Amino acid sequence: MSYEFEKEKIYRMPTHFGPSLGPRQGPDGRKFECKDNPKAKSISVSFLTNPDQLQSFLPPNFSLYGDPIVNVTATYIKEIEWLAGRGYNTLGVSFPVEFNGEKDKARGNFLLVLWENLTDPILTGREELGFSKIYCKLPDPKIYKDKISCTASWLDFNFMNIEVNKISSGDIQLNRPKTDDKYLKGMLHYKYIPRTGGPPGSWGEKDVAYAVLTPEDAPNKVVKSISHGQGEVNFFKARWEDMPTQYTIINAFADLEKIKYLDATITETIGAKDISDQRILL
C-alpha cells in the first residue's frame, strides 16, 4: 500500500520518509521559539544607483519606491536550534519597492537573491517560503582592528567582497515609527517554479509564480549592538566558464552604477522567528 500525506504537515522531496524536518517543523512536529537563538552578525553596505537599472529587475506588479538604494548584506548566523546548534552564512542583495496587486499593497525591500552556504536552509527557504536562494561559499569575515572584510565565491571563483573600515559604535534605535496606512510592510520576494515536461516548446513555462511577503514583525529579535563605518562592495565580472549558472547574476550586479556610498553597518542580534507568517500577495 502506498503512503498518504498527513494533514497539516510540511513535506518536501523526498516525501517517501514522512513529513520533512526544518525551521518550521522539528522532531515530532515541534516548533522552534527562536527566543535565545540564533545569534547573528550582519555586515551591510548600501549605495545609491541608477533607478533604470533596478527597474529592469522587477517582476509584474512591482515598482521602485523611494530612492534607488541597493543593500548588500552578509550575515553570519550561529547556534541555530533547528540545526541542533549549527550555523550558516548568507549574502543578500535588495532594494526598496512597492507591490500593487489586485488585493494587496506592500512596501519593503525586494530580495533579488540570497546566497547561502548550506543546502538545508536553501531548500526550505526556496520551496516553503519562496526566497530566491542559491548556493555559494561564504567564509566567516576577517576582522582586524577597525576593519572587517567579507568574501563570496563559487567553486574557487571569488565573485564579491565587502570591506568596512573606520568602524565606530552607534546608538541602537529600538523604536520604529508605526504607520496605519494601507501598505503591508516587510521583505518582498517573487516565488517561481517551472513546470516539468509537457509538449515540445513548453519547457520553462511556469508552474508557480507569485509575490510573497515576509512581514517585518519579529518580536523575539533583539538588537545587541550596531556599529557604523565606511563601506565598499564589489562584484567581479564573471565568464560563463567561471560560473556557468550564475554569471548573469554576478555581471548584473557588477554593472550597477555606484553614484554614492551610504552608511555601512555591523549589527549583532539574538533571536528571530521561524517565518511561518510568510504569506502570498494577491
For residue range 57-77, what is the model confidence (pLDDT) as tens digits? 999 999 999 999 999 999 999
* CATH superfamily label, 33-169+181-280: Acetoacetate decarboxylase-like (2.40.400.10)
For the purposes of burial, counting CB atoms within 10 Å of the CB of 121, is it exposed (0-12), middle (13-18) or buried (19 or more)?
buried
Q: In this predicted model, what pLDDT tens digit does every residue of 163-190 receive, in sequence order? A: 999 898 876 665 555 555 899 999 999 9
Residue 40's contacts (CB-CB under 8 Å, 6 or more residues apart) are 75, 76, 77, 78, 268, 269, 270, 272
| pLDDT class of 154 with cuts at 50, 70, 90 | very high
In whole angstroms, what is the distance from residue 230 CA to residue 48 CA? 14
Beta bridge partners of 2: none
Q: Which of 40, 47, 130 is nearest to 90 (CA)?
A: 40
- pTM comes to 0.95
